[in-house]
Structure 1
Amino acid sequence: STVFLDTVDQTHIWGLRKAGLSLLTGCKGSAKPTAGIEDVAILPEKLPEYVAGLQSLMKPLGLNGSFYGHAASGLLHVRPVVDMHKAEDIAKYRSLAEGVSALTRQFKGSISGEHGVGIARTEFLPEHLGPELMGVMNEIKQLFDPSNMLNPGKIVRAPGSTAKELKIDTNIRQGNLSTISLPFEPVLAFAAKDASFVGNLEQCNGCGGCRKSGPTMCPTYIATNDEIMSTRGRANTIRAALEHTHNKGTQSIFTPELEQALSNCLSCKACTTECPSNVNMALLKAELLHAKQTAQGIPIRERILARVELLGKLATSASSRIPRTS
């Protein structure tokens, strides 16, 4: 093994570790390493047995996964590679999650060692904590939130709650068991890794690597500290506009929010190289603007700015007619 004592080398190594998730989720195709079972923690000395048990659950389902994390602490961030656009993969995902919950109880571990319970693990909490402890948590919830206004249905489900029951295979980010449909025909070429407009858009996994102070990505976020001005914010805004168009059956995706997000993008392409998943926001913006201008025409402002040489000639001609004073 190699020991790195230089602080620059150490920074690079930790940077690679931090970028690991995004590098994994930036893989080619719609099947991605997916969260849900990735936060199990058990006694470190039991980790090899747990991994063997986990692999025995994944193999019959035909699933592979990524394994990384904090082995010394007994916590591995295991993410099965599934395509959450497909019903059969979602069924495998649920089956694996149920098996992992039982396996974790077998090893007397925790299903949420670091990342929190959230939506994905709420349904499994009662079987891990038991009715007595869940009852205490319900009492605390009712004491501080008698009207059940704070995150209803998450983690603790208040008695008589009408909130939608949260399951690991619902509220899926991709939604509708299908790829995002486009109300326009793309014309630009996307990298082989992405293969399409939607493929590049879904490279964004929400890691937030674009919410940083440098070196470059994303300059508009650095200047404004506004989420919508980051690469992630723009990707989510595009996705939301497309899903709204699909669900509402409307033709135009150009909501005020999308207009704001795109108009302030500098198309500097820093995200293409600095984003671990290589989201190319400049290319996405160009495709969307082409679709808009094909449907609505080119605005007069853009027509004028596109002919700066003509403006120069007109200005020169006009200046020659202005009387000069000695």
Structure 2
Amino acid sequence: MAKRFGILTSGGDCPGLNAVIRGAVLKGQTVYGHEYVGFRDGWYGLVYGDIMELDRTVVRGLSNEGGTILGTSRFGPYSEPDGGPENIKKVLKNLGIDGVIAIGGEGTASASKRLFEDGINIVGVPKTIDNDIDATDYTFGFNTAVEIATEAIDRLRTTGNSHKRCMVLEVMGRHAGWIALHSGIAGGAHAILIPEQPESLDQICAWVTGVKSRGRSPMVVVAEGFKLPDMKEEYSVKGLDGFNRPRLGGIAEVLAPLIEDRTGIETRATVLGHIQRGGVPSAYDRVLATRFGMAVSDLVADKAWGKMVALRGTDVVRITFDEALANPKQVPSDQYQEVRVIFG
């Protein structure tokens, strides 16, 4: 009897999720003769046994589709009253499913680790546009987010130049400024503000003024988690998300009037938001996601439960959930200082 595995996508959506699903199903069926189902809407589908069959026909042409055909949610696998390992084991047994592939970020990895320790056969695939998982060099979705942010910078610079304005672009990045750093470098930003490196308003305005004095229109890129030195916490006025964390967004709209008031330079803010998550994945992310999907089919074939796939250099390797969760990957100070010298 063919082995049967379930796939779920949890947490925020991300360009490349469908390519992972496709890679896993194609290799799993072709090489190992496995059968696959998808759990709908993340952990919710696992807890309640809500599935869809996945075969070659279903995953055909998925590489270039954004989002996830399985849906996602903030629902947790231990959510009462129907969550927890004993109930999940019953669901898996009733459906004839031998193991679970969980595709997600830090929260998904934490939940997967706990389920594995509670006796569930589970493996993982790291996913985050923030690129903040230390055990993998890159996560799929990050390259796409950077490309989208870079295009936004390019577009904002043309309108900024036309009106001789300072433009402030806010990108995602709660604790890690990788998107801001990479897109800012690529777009030639005059200042890049990230959560890991506080900068004073005086310094930001000095950079902006210096650019203006050369007859240029200043371009500032800021990550949503950036704080000015006198701010006790990240800027948030949108309540809490599904994980009871403050929903960030709007620091650019705080900075813009402060810059304008301090420098006298007309300043406009743009919050890029969920545009960074949407649309088709870049070629790089399609390739990486497909490789991750194929590699995770090897994991379940080898019964390597409690492991995740990761990218090291150009190799896809196996890591434990503990390794994935050990340290968040933040922008090192020396990497930021390397580019900071050309700000302004």
How does the TM-score come out when normalised to structure 2?
0.25
Decide which structure has greater strand share: 2
Higher relative contact order (CA 8 A, sep 6+): 2
Q: Which has the larger radius of gyration?
A: 1
Greater share of residues in helix = 1
